Amino acid sequence: MSLIIHKVGILDTIQHFGVKGLQSKGIRPGGVMDQFSASIANALVGNKLNEDLLEIHFPACEIIFKKSCIIALVGAHFSAKLNEKYLPLNRPILIPTNGKLQFVAPKYGRIVYLAIQGGLIGQGRLIKNSEIAFKKKPKLNSSSLHIFPWSADVDWQKYSPEIHVIQGREWERLNEESQRQFCCKPFKLSHHADRMGYRLQHDTFHTRTKEEIISSAVNFGTIQLLPNGQTIVLMADHQTTGGYPRIAHVISADLPKLAQKSPGDEVVFHLTDQETAEKEWVAQQKHIRQIQNISQLKLDEFFQKNSNQL
């Protein structure tokens, strides 16, 4: 009951959903970059929403499934193929024994999540020819591919450039012209973008004063002003504190959309308030829970009807 990493990707990992409550001790949270897509992938296969899963970048890994299992692919479109048949995103898929999964070409997005029903044992970087065990024995065994007839609504993850932010503690350090530029001019994601932070390209920002600030707490989505007048958005593997001005914070509901941006993509920031940010987050979580509940009902029905046929 396992899979084999036949070929490794550059940044592919078995990823968790973050270490909570230890930033004060200097331990960074880490975890998945796009929590929305990862949660939806788990929901589609009947897992708990925060089950560990594969976070896959391009160039991506190749996987051989030694045992039939149910998977879901959510997030970026990397033209996934199983034994030369293309697979859809956002729906559960029954993988046959010895099926070979490949990702042949990126079409949009930066990260795709692969959830396996029951979860995986282990965390960290994938290793060539390594064997990763399933946490639970698969419920069904199949010698052929089966794509389930339902899919998840992921309209929340539209790949638009608009990203909503709230003002940071040091927002007022920007002069008026830089504040106007921040709110109306597009940024470009630079090639210096990884799990620690996405550097942005734009006209140089200027501050009203030049004094330094005391190193202070930062979080996933904090936008810092660098000494050269450029900015960086801290991502999942960010440090726990920083000494650069925190001019804004990406709202939690828009972090998944930002995480899927690739170098060269445009980003346009829109200021919002805390109340709106909280409402958007709550609405997004309700949407995920609805998909989880509906998926579980459909999977249960499928198992009852087909357990003797597959």
Q: What integer pLDDT is reported at residue 184 of this predicted model? A: 82
- Total residue length of the chain: 310
User: What is the structure's pLDDT at 245?
Assistant: 96
Q: H or E stretch including 222? A: strand 222-225
pTM: 0.95
Q: What was the pLDDT predicted at 206? A: 95
Q: Residue 208 gets which letter from DSSP? A: S
pLDDT string in tens for the chain (310-residue length)? 689 999 999 899 999 998 877 777 778 888 999 999 999 999 999 999 999 999 999 999 999 999 999 999 999 999 999 998 999 999 999 999 999 999 999 999 999 999 999 999 988 999 999 999 999 888 777 889 999 999 998 876 667 899 999 999 999 999 999 999 999 899 999 999 999 999 999 999 999 988 778 888 999 999 999 999 999 999 999 999 998 999 999 999 999 999 999 999 999 999 999 999 999 999 999 999 999 999 999 999 988 887 665 5
Distance of CA 125 to the CA centre of its chain: 16
Q: Which domains does the chain have, with CATH numbers?
A: 2-156 (no CATH), 162-272 (2.40.100.10)
Chain-centre distance for alpha carbon 206: 32
Q: Which stretch of DSSP H or E encloses residue 14?
A: strand 13-15
* 100, amino acid identity: K
Q: What is the pLDDT of residue 166?
A: 98
Cα separations in angstroms, 63 against 56, 81, 95, 202: 11, 11, 11, 40
Edge-to-edge strand order for the sheet containing 69-77? 124-125, 13-15, 53-56, 108-116, 69-77, 92-95, 146-147
pLDDT at residue 215, rounded to an integer: 86
pLDDT of 308: 64
How does DSSP classify residue 46? Answer: T
Cα 123 vs. chain centroid, distance in angstroms? 16
